Structure 1
Amino acid sequence: MNQSPLFDSRATSARLPLATYRFQLHADFTFFDAAALVPYLHQLGISDCYVSPIFTPRAESTHGYDICSYGELTPWLGGTDGFWTLANALNAHGMGLIVDMVPNHMGIGAANAWWMDVLENGISSVYAPYFDIDWQPSKRELANQVLLPILGDHFGVVIEQGAIQLHYDQGAFFLQYAETRLPIAPRTAGLVLEDARPLLEAQLPADDPGLQEFLSILTTVGYLPPRGADDPLKLMERRREKEIIKGRLASLTTANATVRRVLDQTLGRYNGNPDEPASFTHLTRLLDGQAYRLAFWQVSSEEINYRRFFDINELAAIRVEHDAVFRDTHTLLFDLIAAGAITGLRIDHPDGLWMPAAYFARLQTEALTRRIAQDQGLADAQLDDIRDRAAAWVHDRAHHGTPDTSATPATWPLYVVAEKILAHGEALPQDWALHGTTGYDFLNAVNGIFVDSRHGRSFDTIYSTVCGTEQAFSEVVLAKKMLIMQEAMASEIASLSYQLERLTERTPRYRDFTLGGLTTAIRDLIAHMPIYRTYIDPIARRVSDHDRQCLEQATDAALRQRYRTSGSVLIFLRDTLLLRTLDTFAPDDRDRLAQWILRFQQMTGPIMAKGVEDTAFYLYNRLISLNEVGGEPALFGQSLDAFHRQNQTRHQDWPSSMLTLATHDTKRAGDVRARINVLSEIPKRWWLHVNRWRKLNATHKIMVDGVPAPDANDEYLLYQTLLGAWPAGECDAATFATFRDRIISFMQKATREAKTHTSWVNPNADYDASLTAFVTALLPDDRTTHFLADFIPFQQEIARVGAVNSLSQTLFTLTAPGVPDCYQGSELWDFSLVDPDNRRPIDYALRQWLLGEIQQRAQTDRRGVAQDLLEHWADGRMKLFVITTLLTYRRANPDLFLTGRYTPLTIVGPQRTMVCAYTRQVGDTTLLVVGPRLVAALMAAHDRFPLGAEVWQTTRVCLPATDAGVRYRNLLTCAIIVPDGPAHRPTLALGTILCDFPIAALEAITSDEDSVG
């Protein structure tokens, strides 16, 4: 381990957040708007603001993940001035700023100068290596061209409609298709000039200076080095000369009206006449000479030859593993980090990176280098040496740990979390130089303890009865991953297969493996992968035990379906990925095979995400609260022991990992899941209501393709969604109409994602219309239907139990090991559904006023406030009260939550399974956390919230042995609670702990203090 004084704890330790608040920035919520809310966040108890991407995306972007320029702060968010307004406001309140970084892909189009340069110059572009483009794809007609699937119809149809037009402006020719502007290759400008030459020579004398300049330009164009030249000097000459040519032509056409008029006439010939198909010959010839090939957008799934973000044509993958790409995408970012404006990063989609561990190490290396350089006042010339030493320190730290990692949180120079989706039982790789995940692992763990696992089989029966079929979630996933590989991402699979077939063809041992056989094997293996991706390093020849087990598991599962795939091909594929066959290839091919293995690993994550999150999660609707990013819907609930084990593991390995209940990517808000989870406790009643509603609403269905629509599965999804998202409290006409529109939009998205009756690629207008009509019939303006008469009382009962679930899961999020993250607006009840529903405007004026009122009243009568908020639970203020109380306590006791021990507590008594309790402890500070779960039966029996001894009877929390005189103060009510029993075995009665409020956070005190108020 590098022990240089340069690498002291100050230089190598990040600023760790205590609690974050996520803002989604867009044109209607800018840096300035966020800055104005910093005092509110500080008052709430937030330590760090956490924002969506800040670098310039496409102009029409509403989310910021389609970045077009990493060197510019988004102008419509306020640009540099707006950013520093936010940064300075945060700094004034002692708060940090965590920024969402997108290193895997860029938005492409006219706003992306790098991409436009590639389209103009092809493989000769200085930016060609920046994008992951296959310049020699299996379709040879696409050699040295990029397929651009942007046309609304087939190429021939579009061009003969005259929809593609050639234009000229300021020395440059370009093509226009609808709103899309495309450059043309410099040498092909010569085609246009050559066609204009006879006309110009007929109108100007041979010695005319304008004609002479025109001919000179034409000659110069002809001498431009061809696209694809690999001589660096030739490429430099090409880049220089093409710009000179544009300048000369601009000057000529400005000064000489005849030349401009002739060019306009020539453009008219190129742009043809829709009544004369043969008139487009010139334009077709020009298009054939470009570095891109225009195509019908539906062609993309089979022939596209640039790696995309999932299957989105408008997002092209970049190769951030290359030095130049990392530098050009991170320079401004690290300038802002060095300036202290940015204190942490969220890394988007790390599984799309070439080698995630190497990328995270590079982030920390650069952060450490910049910090040391700033502290030491080092010149730029000295940075390379510091960077090399910093890289060695980061490598040692990642692979060997610190001298004492058990005593303190992970020490890295920069706070970094990754949007990593962990499969059930999967751990975050220990060699990743970061602080943890963005919290989906916690989200699903805490959600699971509110699902009653005893009733899983009952729900299987209900679901199969409703849908008329039995299908395991694993079967749905397998089928949908196959569908994605055969349709949406067929081109990526074809490219993988072709590249591997080229390698096996040159190796006698494997040359009998056919392209078809390899393609099938690749599909089968990916379809059976139990995780998003592996992280095998073929360059260093490292394979973890976990990766080996996952690949062997996938292979064994695929081999059981050998009617599809040759066993020998699957075994070869497994052994190749595990590096067992590497030395059997020729030395010249081993590097290519290593590159192929890395590319294979990049592809499995998007296929898993598209097949599971974006398809299966909308199709398998047994209990939709389980269908969450990173979730495993096949697992019906989770034990408290498993929840505690995960918290203890996080405390030990990733104590600063994020904890969240909702993000911009979740399928539904935490409060929606909290309500739907209640159904797991009451399967008989749920089935009675569903059965009744199906009968009541059957007449609202419309026949589509001979069957009633929507189908039973979509109808079952709708009922759960209505129960979860129904507005709380009184709902006026406008709110109800908005709610109905939101449900319609959600159901349209859900059914298209499910890809059963309709889809985004091939929408079924009749099915979409029937779905809209069905929702409208269920939710009429007057709300006087037999369905609603039965639905609303049941929903209100579910909502009340869901409120208790929500308080408990909020309590656990704010106190478990990790950093709680609050998604925008969720400090009150949040019944949002999937994006874009979760990006609706937030009423911050209301939240600011409510927070001030709550805090002012709580200063003198905290117990009274808690009881009042509980009585008016539907308005959500009690959630805000819990959040600000516990965040304020976190801020006052940072060590307790950064390093404090996590100890599960035993519950005894008749309601012991209905409570989750644990302590956090550091030094003399102890916090005891108690939250109920699975309380639907308790609340139904007593027709009220689960409070007092009548509800909890003799149920007790068993405490660790304590010193005599220790008692507890409830942070939420200020009640003082004294343990019962002897000091070596004290207990607390649940009826006492939860007598005024449904949850409790109890601070251990050693003196007989009076409660406030």
Structure 2
Amino acid sequence: MTPRATLRLQLHAGFTFDDAASHADYFARLGVSHLYLSPVSAAEPGSRHGYDTVDYGTLNPELGGEAGFNRLVDALRARGLGVIVDIVPNHMGVGGSSNGWWNDVLEWGPASPYARHFDIDWHPPDPALDGKVLLPCLGMPYGDALAAGDITLNADPASGRFFIACPGRRLPVAAATYADILRLTNRADLNALAERFDAAPARDSARLAAAHAALRDHVAAHGPHALDAVLRGADPRVARSRTSLHRLLERQHYRLAWWRTAADELNWRRFFDIATLAAVRVDDDAVFDAVHALPLRLHAAGLVDGIRVDHVDGLADPRAYCRRLHARLAAQRSAPPYVVVEKILAPGESLRADWGVAGTTGYDFMNDVGALLHDPAGAEPLAAHWAAVSGSSRTFAQEALDGKRRVLMRQLAVEHARAARLLHGIARASPATRDVSLIAIRRVLGELAVRLPVYRMYPAPREEPDDADRRVLALAYESACAAIDPADRFALDRVAAWLGLPAARVPRANADALAAAALDRKSVV
């Protein structure tokens, strides 16, 4: 059934599938054809929005799980209504301890099978982060948090595992450090257990499982306080033990940090500037399959009639993604797939026709409706009032440009720096551009970015930019030319050319390398 009119429902533990089903008669009387549901995959416990997915393959138990979802669908079907589900392919929730993929990465680092599910730069410029994930989750600087006892070593006797506890988190401990922990106290029985972990370094090995079993057996035989002596050896309240805890933390595959460090040092892609939402590599075949297993199953079973894709502009290649999703859905049922995307269109911008989707989620329509409620004649007196209150005669466009620049310099500083390093690598690869410095690239790239009149461009590997991208890049380029120091014009022309602007009159040297690098998460987030 093709959607005609929808009603969006925000689901959470206080308004579940069954709660929605109880209002089915009301929904039918409204005249809508479908309910458009907020994300239904398992999210962070207690989530009020559901966009912090922790398990793509499971219907959220807080909403009623599989049984509750089926009851809702049955209630709607009985009244001739259908369901559209919201999916979040760009990012997952990593702000707690419920994300199995993320926890595995924290435990095993680059050796985790999920290490490439996320956009992690395992070899950033900071050597302290080599092979590690920055975790900016502390409410104060690391040293202060350590001294305050906010970071502690704990043990779970039932599983035979140690973990690091800090406010709101329970973090895994690398298997390679278990022997060090057990040797924090010089006891023969614990030293013997340490030797078992020394002999079992490989992930998922039978010897490692046996070592954990031996640790569980030890606790079972000696009682719940069997590991107290070990934990005292890492007690942050005691200076010597605090040093041992710090050394242990330094050997983990993550680096605990103050939350304020995220904007400057984060080495993984996130959702905007939110360091509790980690981006996933849905452009990878295995990740795509894992992320979409549940919605594809529900669609194949006829339980949902359409898909709403959240934050499509966060994906590496939205066009390729949308076409792929459309093809997978089309192979399941005879009716044409119904896919809409959350896409912010700038004035005069159109949704790309080659994406193969039914449209946007309607932000553009809501803007038009909102405009009907505003009298254009009010613009001049409002501007005058603003000038009187603020003491500034600057225009909205000038204020907006400064606002963009502040966001780029503060909230998105690390992303800006990373993009500049990418371009600098391309500059260094050619004798013609090797003198374009990293600092100059950062300056001109920032000026281009803040002047782009649209949400994003859509470059694709081994393809020239389309006319729409060239137009917006040309606008940004011309505006930046008038703003930069003349000494930076050489760098601006090169950057514009690498991004695909013929007007810069510079060969697109290594442009394909840039596009490939932007999609290669081995070295770039």
TM-score, L = length of structure 1: 0.49
Change (3 A) 1:582 1:90: farther
Runs of 4+ in 1 over 4 A off after TM superposition: 237-241, 579-583, 596-600
**2:510 paired with 1:548:** no
1:18 aligned partner: 4
Post-superposition shift, 1:247?
2.5
In the superposition, relative to structure 1, how do residues 458 and 177 fare at CA in structure 2: closer, same or farther (>3 Å)? closer
Deviations 1:49-75 (A, max 9, x none): 111111111112111111111111111
Asked if structure 1 preserves the Cα contact closer than 8 Å seen for 2:218 and 2:226, the reply is no
Separation in 2, partners of 1:215, 1:101 = 45
* Counterpart pick for 1:119 among 84, 98, 106: 106
C-alpha contact 2:38 2:86 (8 A) present in aligned 1: yes
Matches of 1:599 and 1:521, distance apart in 2: 24
Question: 1:102: which partner in 2?
Answer: 88
Tell which has more relative contact order, 1 or 2 (C-alpha 8 A, sep 6+).
2
* Inter-partner Cα distance in structure 2 for 1:311 and 1:305: 13
1:270 corresponds in structure 2 to 234
- Give runs of aligned pairs for residues 299-338 of structure 1, distance below 5 A: 299-338=261-300
| Structure 2 match to 1:66 | 52
SS at match of 2:316: coil
Distance 2:8 2:225 in 1: 56
The residue type paired with residue 323 of structure 1 is D
Instruction: Tell me the amino acid that sits aligned with residue 382 of structure 2.
Output: F
Query: How far apart, in 1, do the equivalents of 2:351 and 2:50 lie?
Result: 27
* 1:293 to 2:282 alignment: no
Deviations 1:890-922 (A, max 9, x none): xxxxxxxxxxxxxxxxxxxxxxxxxxxxxxxxx
Alignment-mate amino acid for residue 218 of structure 1:
F
Contact 1:577–1:597 under 8 Å retained in 2: no
Alignment-derived partner of residue 319 in structure 2? 357
- Assess if the C-alpha contact under 8 Å between 1:346 and 1:416 holds in 2: yes
The match for 2:415 is: 492
Task: Give how far 1:446 is off.
Answer: 3.1
Matched, 1:199 2:187: yes
Aligned pairs for 1:835-914 (under 5 A) are none
Highest CA radius of gyration, 1 or 2?
1
Q: Would the aligned equivalents of 1:308 and 1:316 in 2 still touch at CA under 8 Å?
A: yes
Name the SS of the counterpart of 2:47 in structure 1: coil
- SS where residue 350 of structure 2 aligns? coil
Question: Which of residues 459, 469, 476 in structure 1 aligns to 2:392?
Answer: 469
Q: What is the identity, as a one-letter code, of the residue corresponding to 1:116?
A: N
Offset at residue 47 of structure 1 (A)? 0.8
**Are 1:36 and 2:22 counterparts?**
yes
- Displacement, 1:242? 3.7
Question: In the alignment, which residue of structure 2 is the partner of 1:692?
Answer: none
* Conserved? CA contact 1:500–1:596, under 8 Å: no
State the Cα distance separating 1:565 from its structure 2 match.
7.0
What's 1:593 paired with? 514
Change in Cα spacing, 1:110 to 1:215, as seen in structure 2 (3 Å) is closer
Offset at residue 599 of structure 1 (A): 9.0
Equivalent residue number for residue 211 of structure 2: 245
- Structure 1 residues 557 and 424 mapped into 2: Cα distance closer, same or farther (>3 Å)? same
What is residue 452 of structure 2 aligned with on the other side? 529
Counterpart residue number, 2:174: 185
The CA deviation string for residues 433-484 of structure 1, in whole angstroms up to 9 with x for no partner, is: 1100111112222333443334533433333233332221111111111111
Partner secondary structure for residue 65 of structure 1: coil
| Cα shift at 1:571 | 1.4
**Unaligned 5+ runs, structure 2:** none
* Local SS of the residue matching 2:89: coil
Q: 1:416 aligns to what?
A: 339
Q: Is the 8 A contact 1:195 1:266 kept in 2?
A: yes
Distance 1:240 1:350 in 2: 42
Q: After superposition, where does 1:758-837 map in structure 2 within 5 Å?
A: none
Give the distance between the partners of 2:420 and 2:191, measured in 1 at CA. 54
Q: Is the 8 A contact 1:99 1:346 kept in 2?
A: yes
* Structure 2 CA distance for partners of 1:244 and 1:86, relative to 1, 3 Å: same
Amino acid at match of 1:563: D
Judging changes above 3 Å, is the alpha-carbon distance between structure 1 residues 244 and 493 closer, same or farther for their aligned structure 2 residues? Answer: farther
SS state of the match for residue 62, structure 1? coil
Note the alpha carbon deviations across 1:702-750, whole angstroms, 9 max, x for none: xxxxxxxxxxxxxxxxxxxxxxxxxxxxxxxxxxxxxxxxxxxxxxxxx
**Contact 1:184 1:290 (C-alpha < 8 Å) held by counterparts:** yes
* Structure 2 counterpart SS, 1:126: coil
Q: Which amino acid aligns with 1:553?
A: L
Contact 2:117–2:281 (8 Å) recurs in 1: yes
Q: Which residue of 2 aligns with 1:148?
A: 135
Residues 44-55 of structure 1: pairs in structure 2 closer than 5 A:
44-55=30-41
Please point out which of 401, 405, 408 is paired with 1:482.
405
1:444 corresponds to 2:367: yes
Structure 1 unaligned spans of 5+:
1-14, 202-209, 226-236, 373-411, 604-1013
Change (3 A) 1:264 1:559: same
Q: 1:538-585: per-residue Cα shift (whole Å, max 9, x none)?
A: 33x132111001001101111111238711111111111117678633
Q: Secondary structure at the match of 2:333?
A: helix
Counting only pairs closer than 5 Å after superposition, residues 915-930 of structure 1 correspond to structure 2 as none
CA, structure 1 residues 502+518, in 2 after alignment: closer, same or farther (shift >3 Å)? same
Which residue of 181, 198, 206 corresponds with 1:219?
Answer: 198
Amino acid at match of 2:443: T
Q: In structure 2, which of residues 350, 356, 380 is the aligned counterpart of residue 457 of structure 1?
A: 380
Q: C-alpha offsets along residues 808-835 of structure 1, whole Å, 9 cap, x if unaligned?
A: xxxxxxxxxxxxxxxxxxxxxxxxxxxx
1:321 is displaced (CA, Å) by: 0.8
2:381 and 2:191 map into 1 onto residues whose CA distance is 86
SS in 2 for 1:271: coil
Structure 2 CA distance for aligned equivalents of residues 326 and 290 of structure 1: 29
Q: CA deviation at 1:171?
A: 1.4
User: For 1:303 and 1:582, how far apart are their aligned partners in 2?
Assistant: 33
**In 2, are the aligned partners of 1:175 and 1:182 still within 8 Å (CA)?**
yes
Who is 1:174 aligned against? 163
Give yes or no for contact 2:134–2:267 (8 Å, CA) kept in 1.
yes
More helix by share: 1
Instruction: Give the C-alpha shift of residue 268 in structure 1.
Output: 0.4
Q: Which amino acid aligns with 2:397?
A: S
The residue identity in structure 2 corresponding to 1:58 is E
| Residue deviations 1:900-951 (CA, integer Å, cap 9, x gap) | xxxxxxxxxxxxxxxxxxxxxxxxxxxxxxxxxxxxxxxxxxxxxxxxxxxx
Identity %: 38
Number of the residue aligned with 1:561:
483
Gap change, CA 1:96 and 1:241, over 3 Å in 2: farther
Distance 1:529 1:240, change over 3 A: farther
